[in-house]
Amino acid sequence: MTSNKKSAFITGGSKGIGYATAEALVREGYRVTITSRDQAEIEAAARQLGEGTRGVVCDVREYAAVQSAINGHGEAFGNLNVLFVNAGVGNFAPIQDLSAEDWQAVIDTNLTGAFFTVKAAVPLLEKSQGYVITLSSLAGKNPFAGGGAYNASKFGLNGLSEVMMLDLRPLGIKVSQIMPGSVATHFAGHTPSDQDAWKIQSEDIAQIVIDLLAMPERTLPSRIEVRPAQPPRK
């Protein structure tokens, strides 16, 4: 299938930042594939987003699963213009208490999963002269106690994103990384509430994605740090 209509592929798209970004791209006329490890959640999210949206079960820790999902996107939509690398998990504990399994789950999802996703998508992105946007974190430059696995994954993702920008720029593929501070999402089991009103909202990150895509072709904001404008006073 070939089409002149643009498309996007979003990992971790059933809720939070991924879902809000999918919603924003659908409004812009994109056809979108969203992924999650939870079949019920991803099917429900795709239904909510409406026509032109695909919900695919995919574990980014498994390269074969990522490659299959990317291939399916290409077959369904004929192109890939935007890759939003958003899937992430967080396990938090002091190093002496952090299990090997929890460490591995975070590194495999947040860092290796990002590499797998971009690697699988490069052929389609090169054809479209597309855009890769990785969702990192200010935790990728600001370590905190108990954040060994998460900090390491995001420090690594920041470095990987910069290398991908340098490697893929000659192919005509743009790469940007977004590094938010506190965001009101369901991350790490949190349920957003009125108490999170001061935080960055998922739709705020989605707007940054839309703004990046509207930049002149000659210009590449490669790293974007974003913080709450008025955090609570300590």
Closest CA to 17 of 161, 209, 197: 209
Structure tokens at 122: 């490069």
63 counts as catalytic: no
Cα separations in angstroms, 168 against 58, 175, 197: 24, 8, 38
3-state secondary structure of 33: strand
Return d(Cα 89, Cα 71) in angstroms, integer: 24
Structure tokens at 140: 């990728």
Rg (CA), the chain: 17
Structure tokens at 156: 């690594």
Measured in residues, the chain has a length of: 234
- For tokens 């509430």, what's the residue? 193
Q: 16: which residues sit within 8 A by CB, 6+ positions away? A: 183, 185, 186, 187, 202
Catalytic residue from among 19, 30, 131, 150: 150
Indicate which residues carry an active-site annotation.
150
